[in-house]
Amino acid sequence: MNLETEHNTDARRAFEPIVKFRRLISCAYLDYEYEGKRGGNIGGEIIYRLVSEIVTLDRITADQVNSYDLVLVSTPSSGQIIDVLRLAIKHGWERRKCRILVGGYGVQNVNLLKGFVDFAFFGRAHDCIEQIIDSVSEGSIHPDIKDNMIVVNSPHIVRFRQAPLMSNSIFNEEFTGCPLKCKFCHYTYSRKFNGKTNGYTQALLTDGNSDEVLYSDIIGFTEKRGRIRTAIDGFSERIRYLYGKRISNDMIIDGINHIGEIAINKMQDDMFGGHEMNKRTVMTVYNIANFPYETQEDEQEFIDNIHRADPRTRVIFILHSTPFRASPATPMQWERVQIFPDWSAQREKTICDRDNLLVKYSYTLEGPWSQLLAAITERARDDDSVAMAAINYRSSKMSAIKAAEFMDKYDVSHHIGEHDINKPPPGAWYLKSYLRDEQITKIAEKMRSARDGWDNEKGNGTAPR
């Protein structure tokens, strides 16, 4: 099947409702902070500064778009597509007289933005700002970026742009991407690994406030820093190994004990050096919950094993579980999405509390409604009535009840169900990883084959906790 033939139309027709205008004379950047949305958009700030070197660029709010020829919108996470859509509906962008471009790694499935936004750019854009502005100005995509940019109303096959490391007066990078290939990870399949390090340490991106390290490297840590961020991504060994994190239960225990050993050595050094002793280390440990076919037995395996840890000084282990998302352009883009159990009900629940070890769930765990809305958005089709119903759904009920009621009322099987690997991906059929399609499919097939061999009963993933 030729996807471009099936879905594509003449790109020029996409601009018929837009007022033709001369070469760009005014440009603006939609500032989410002015709109009360999520802050901390590093990529957006970099693009803002780079574009400002080319044209005068004003920061604006969503109601000001028609005062400019071009409006840039940066979306660092896929959830912000909903923010953009809501602003577009509220301020009547379907009647715009400007051209609007969305970009950033949050740009994955843009089907819901058809009619509201003109262009979408996928991946890193710091090395092709001029080509992007030329494209929007001229109303056609520059040849150098045709593989990374679409007319939203007329998409074609695109891949995430793999731009070189940034090295300029704004920001300097030592690496990008990840050498691991966790099957669920949007980051690793959208950013090809490039740089001199093969770990997660990102002091530049965290302002030195904490260290983010591979769990497998914790045993090699030789210095106590007071706070460590890492990830296990799966409650049980079978879940972690199947979906790409080769971390055993023993590794988790050994890591906790090692951190305690580092701390006791550091305390002794501080005693002789006259420094104040730091008597604990906080580990913020990220986890993916509600993986396809995950069961309560998987969570219980984590709980049973974590009690085996016996560090020499107090370690605080904060487990931050985020529900699984079937991210486009990854081997798990065809997988089902388990909306339940409700992990938000576990907020701040203590798993283990001893003098030398505190293990508890984070206080910011995401609820079922947010996960369902994200799943629907990421697999939204053209003219998707279910997606629009979800975005406009109003209920004062708790997240789990709200999600269950919506799922009873609407058919969300396309959005959260399992899909055939040999068919086009649901939602953003046009978006590809830097890896070949055959490689992504082979990984997905091998994963399903291994899972089919599990002896554990497969739950239906629909009953609230």
> Any idea where the domains of the chain sit in the sequence?
3-159, 175-452
Q: How far apart are CA 424 and CA 111, in angstroms?
A: 15
Confidence class for position 40, pLDDT limits 50, 70, 90: low
> Which segment of 106-110, 148-152, 413-417 scores lowest on mean pLDDT?
106-110
pLDDT of residue 12: 37
State the sign of the Cα–Cα–Cα–Cα dihedral 4, 7, 13, 15: negative
pLDDT of residue 199: 55
| Whether pLDDT at 63 is above 50 | yes
Confidence class for position 169, pLDDT limits 50, 70, 90: low
71, 28 in Cβ contact below 8 A? yes
Q: Is residue 350 exposed (0-12), middle (13-18) or buried (19+ Cβ within 10 Å)? A: exposed
Q: How far apart are CA 227 and CA 283, in angstroms?
A: 6
| Whether pLDDT at 35 is above 80 | no
83, 56 in Cβ contact below 8 A? no
Q: Tell me: the pLDDT tens digits for 296-333?
A: 999 999 999 999 999 998 999 999 999 999 999 999 99
Whole-angstrom CA distances from 221 to 25, 215, 218, 246, 418 are: 54, 10, 5, 19, 40
Q: What percent of the chain has pLDDT over 90?
A: 55
CATH number of the 3-159 domain = 3.40.50.280
Between these two residues, 435 and 13, which has the higher pLDDT value?
435
Q: Tell me: the pLDDT tens digits for 241-254?
A: 999 999 999 999 99
Q: Tell me: the pLDDT tens digits for 325-359?
A: 999 999 999 999 999 999 889 999 999 999 999 99
Task: Supply the pTM of this predicted model.
Answer: 0.85
